[in-house]
Amino acid sequence: MKILKMPEGFIFDTENPNKVEFNPGPKGTKTPLHYLTEENTVWEFLSKYFKSKSEVQHPIFKNFTNSYFTSIG
């Protein structure tokens, strides 16, 4: 699943969590991530795919409270 983080315009991929793309206006269907994570918070959902390395938090969590996330496809 590809996840768009706004307002930064970064695209993260759950299948390749170390890859980041920049595209502030990707085409395609956008679904707010919280619609897909009914049983978990968005933070819990993202934590499953984007793990910390050597106690350094994954960049998807930077400025988390001021960001919103959508699934794109």
What local confidence, expressed as pLDDT, does residue 27 receive? 87
Any idea what the Cα angle at residue 48 is, between residues 1 and 64, rounded to 5°?
85
| Average pLDDT value for the chain | 92
The amino acid at 58: H
Pick the closest to residue 8 from 71, 59, 73 (CA basis): 59
Q: What is the mean pLDDT of residues 32-54?
A: 90
CB 3 within 8 A of CB 64: no
pLDDT at 55 over 80: yes
